[in-house]
Amino acid sequence: MTSDFYRLTATEVLQKTTAGDLTVQDYATSLLQRIKARDEAVQAWAYLDAEYVMEQAKALDALPSAERGPLHGVAIAVKDVIFTKDMPTQFNSPVYTGHAPKVDAGSIMILRKSGALILGKTCTTEFAATTVGPKTKNPHDSSRTPGGSSSGSGAAIGDFQAPIGLGTQTGGSVIRPGSYNGIYAYKPTWNSVTREGQKIYALILDTLGFYARSVRDLELIADTFAIFDDVPAPIDFNVKGPKFAYLKTMVWPNVGSGTSNAMDQAVALLRAHGAEVEETFLPEELNDLPAWHATVLASEGRAAFLPEYTTAKDKISQQLIGHVENSDKITRKAQLEAFDKISAARPVVDEILSKYAAVLTPSVPDEAPLGIERTGSAAFCLIWTALHTPVVNVPGFQGENSMPIGISLVAPRYHDRHLLAVCQKVGEIFEAEGGWKSAV
């Protein structure tokens, strides 16, 4: 007998378990039934042990109320580049087939102590570093990519197979799947969440991020990871009155009609609800930000993948081999110049962003492209990863093929809770009036 508990947000799960209206076992059963029914179409999971899920659920139900954590029973989908002591961590690489280190990543330690139900490991591109898609398909159209590299986490949350997902972003690997799967995606300020115990690609870029179907759930996760601003976020932000901006950025020529129309629609909706919205620009001297990001990515990748290159070169992709062998193409001088120029750009961009409640910018060029062989373009995401700013993909719009398209809202570094408060109200408008609704 099936139930629709799988459709609950994390916040709703907590309300029901706290009130005694739902057991974790009944909730887990509903999720597992959903996964079984949809797995062939979506294929979000790299590893999932139903028996172990139910063991966790039973143990959580047995806890006295006083010992239950703030995430009691909330199911978490974990990207398979993050260590979990009781599940394999295989990085979608033949080098690590069956690899099962008996240790939790720092993030998983926090989630377990908070009472979360660790559901399973979700599919990723190889080491979260290539653009070749895994087996995962977009839940809204199985002929299209769910994005990457956090492919499985984005698809699982978009398909109601879990309420919260963990992803990682070095270019656009959290925000892009958020847009393609029609869900909220949150890339916090860089280094505000521990990355201990996950595969590193570029240490000064990698950021642990989160997927959810509501901003309230993202706020719940931000509480769990102690992400707070210096100045408390507004308790009840009102769109009417505050000033917003929209920013096309230097990669606007890559935009498609779907995202272009979504940007126009987003601006019009905010204005209709009483917000002031103006266009803003980045200084021309920052036009090379994408190139600087590419230099950092490639040069950081030398160290990141040298172990696998040294021990199992024949088992890793040419893209990763290229990172290790690029020393004749990217000099240390060029590497340092890119590091320093991005560092100098961060306070400049923070100052621009600080003038507004939030700045709207594209998440992706357009709706998810056809085919799962490639994961789509990160062109619009990567500059914000380099700049270390918090970013939230807000869903609500659609492209020519009725596939979801999100808009990114950005804020200065360490203004995460302010940004989430703004996205709560903006999201209500975009979801209600943007035109896209999930049919899954």
**% the chain with pLDDT above 90:** 98
Task: Give just the sign of the alpha carbon dihedral 179, 170, 194, 106.
Answer: positive
* Boundaries of domain holding 375: 1-439
Render pLDDT for 215-257 as a digit per residue (tens, 0 to 9).
Answer: 999 999 999 999 999 999 988 999 999 999 999 999 999 999 9
Q: Is the pLDDT of residue 293 over 70?
A: yes
Residue 24's pLDDT is what? 98
Render pLDDT for 54-68 as a digit per residue (tens, 0 to 9).
Answer: 999 999 999 999 999
Q: Report how far residue 362's alpha carbon sits from residue 319's, in angstroms, rounded to the nearest whole number.
A: 27
Region 367-391: mean pLDDT is: 98
Paired tokens of 286: 């920052």
Whole-angstrom CA distances from 31 to 36, 130, 173, 219 are 9, 30, 25, 22
Residue 1's pLDDT is what? 53
Whole-angstrom CA distances from 197 to 90, 95, 138, 208, 263 are 13, 18, 28, 11, 37
Q: Is the pLDDT of residue 28 over 60?
A: yes
Render pLDDT for 201-217 as a digit per residue (tens, 0 to 9).
Answer: 999 999 999 999 999 99
Closest CA to 116 of 150, 70, 79: 70
Q: Is the pLDDT of residue 87 over 70?
A: yes
* 179 part of the active site: no
CB 32 within 8 A of CB 2: no
Whole-prediction pTM value? 0.98
Q: Report how far residue 68's alpha carbon sits from residue 290's, in angstroms, rounded to the nearest whole number.
A: 45
Region 300-305: mean pLDDT is: 95
CB 423 within 8 A of CB 184: yes
Active-site annotation holder among 173, 192, 299, 377: 173
Region 359-385: mean pLDDT is: 98
Q: Residue 169 contacts by C-beta under 8 Å, 6 or more apart in sequence? A: 150, 175, 187, 206, 207, 209, 381, 385
Render pLDDT for 169-184 as a digit per residue (tens, 0 to 9).
Answer: 999 999 999 999 999 9
How many domains does the chain fold into? 1
Region 127-156: mean pLDDT is: 97
Whole-angstrom CA distances from 254 to 163, 212, 259, 362 are 32, 27, 10, 10
Region 31-57: mean pLDDT is: 98
Cβ atoms within 10 Å, residue 59: 12
Region 138-159: mean pLDDT is: 98
CB 125 within 8 A of CB 134: yes
- What's the CATH number where 94 sits? 3.90.1300.10
Residue 330's pLDDT is what? 92
Q: Which helix (H) or strand (E) holds 324?
A: helix 318-324
Closest CA to 116 of 48, 227, 28, 32: 28
Residue 11's pLDDT is what? 98
* 79 part of the active site: yes
DSSP class of residue 252? G
* 363 part of the active site: no
- How close are the terminal C-alpha atoms of the chain, in Å? 19
Residue 341's pLDDT is what? 98
SS3 130: coil
Confidence of residue 328 (pLDDT cuts 50, 70, 90): confident
Task: Provide the angle, in degrees to the nearest 10, between the axes of the packed helices 215-224 and 10-19.
Answer: 70
Residue 38's pLDDT is what? 98
Confidence of residue 363 (pLDDT cuts 50, 70, 90): very high
Active-site annotation holder among 79, 137, 248, 425: 79
Residue 8's pLDDT is what? 98
Q: Report how far residue 91's alpha carbon sits from residue 126's, in angstroms, rounded to the nearest whole number.
A: 6
Average pLDDT value for the chain: 97
Task: Give just the sign of the alpha carbon dihedral 322, 137, 182, 232.
Answer: negative
Active-site annotation holder among 93, 107, 149, 377: 149
Q: Residue 342 contacts by C-beta under 8 Å, 6 or more apart in sequence? A: 289, 292, 293, 296, 386, 387
Q: Is the pLDDT of residue 118 over 70?
A: yes
Residue 2's pLDDT is what? 63
Q: Report how far residue 247's alpha carbon sits from residue 90's, in angstroms, rounded to the nearest whole number.
A: 38
Region 48-53: mean pLDDT is: 98
